[in-house]
C-alpha cells in the first residue's frame, strides 16, 4: 500500500509505502487520550525508510507518551498523525489522516482490556489484550 496523508489544516503531509494493508484499532488509555476517542486506528507499523514527511516536517510536534512510544502531531491544528514505537524503530500512521480511499486487509482490536466501558463494539474482528501477533516483532521488551 502506498498512501498519502495530511493533518486537518493541511500544513503537514506525509507518504507511507508498505506491503501491508492491515490496520489495528488500539484501545490503550494513551490512544484514548491522544485521539479523544474510544480508540485510535493505525495502519500497521513501517520502518522509518518507508515513511516520508513531504511537507511541514518542521511543524511536527512530539510527545513521549511512554518509555517505548511517542506521539507525533501537528503543532498548528493538533491532528494526531503518527505513533513512534521503540524509539522510532517503526512508525504507525493514524488511519484517519490518510487521504482518499484506502484498501484495508486484516483488521484487529488491540489492548482490548483497556476498552472504554461506554464504547460498544459489535464486530467479529480478533481482540487482543496486547499487540496482535502481526506486530510481535515491534513489541517492546
The predicted pLDDT at position 135 comes to 74
- Cell numbers standing for residue 134: 502481526
pLDDT at 141 over 80: no
For position 82, what pLDDT does the model report? 96
How confident is the model over 51-108, as pLDDT tens digits?
999 999 999 999 999 888 999 999 999 999 999 998 889 999 999 999 988 777 889 9
pLDDT value at residue 138: 62
pLDDT: which is higher, 60 or 19 = 60
Q: Which pLDDT value is given to residue 136? A: 67
Stretch 130-141: mean pLDDT, rounded? 71
Q: Where does residue 82 rank: exposed (0-12), middle (13-18), buried (19+ CB within 10 A)?
A: buried
**What percent of the chain has pLDDT above 90?**
70
Q: What is the pLDDT of residue 95?
A: 93
* Predicted confidence (pLDDT) at residue 50 exceeds the cutoff of 70: yes
Rounded to two decimals, the pTM is 0.88
How much is the average pLDDT of 12-27?
A: 90
Question: Quick one: pLDDT at residue 127?
Answer: 95
Answer yes or no: are the C-beta atoms of 54 and 141 closer than 8 Å. no
Amino acid at each position: 500500500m502506498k498512501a498519502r496523508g495530511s493533518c486537518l489544516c493541511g500544513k503537514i503531509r506525509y507518504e507511507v509505502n508498505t506491503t501491508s494493508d492491515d490496520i489495528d484499532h488500539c484501545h490503550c488509555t494513551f490512544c484514548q487520550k491522544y485521539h479523544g476517542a474510544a480508540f485510535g486506528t493505525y495502519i500497521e507499523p513501517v520502518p522509518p525508510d518507508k515513511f516520508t514527511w513531504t511537507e511541514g516536517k518542521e511543524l511536527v510536534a512530539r510527545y513521549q507518551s511512554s518509555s517505548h512510544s511517542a506521539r507525533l502531531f501537528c503543532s498548528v491544528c493538533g491532528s494526531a498523525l503518527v505513533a513512534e514505537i521503540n524509539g522510532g524503530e517503526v512508525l504507525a500512521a493514524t488511519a484517519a489522516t490518510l487521504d482518499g480511499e484506502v484498501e484495508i486487509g486484516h483488521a484487529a482490536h488491540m489492548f482490548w482490556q483497556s476498552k472504554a466501558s461506554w464504547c460498544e463494539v459489535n464486530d467479529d474482528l480478533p481482540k487482543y489484550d496486547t499487540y496482535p501477533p502481526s506486530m510481535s516483532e515491534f513489541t517492546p521488551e
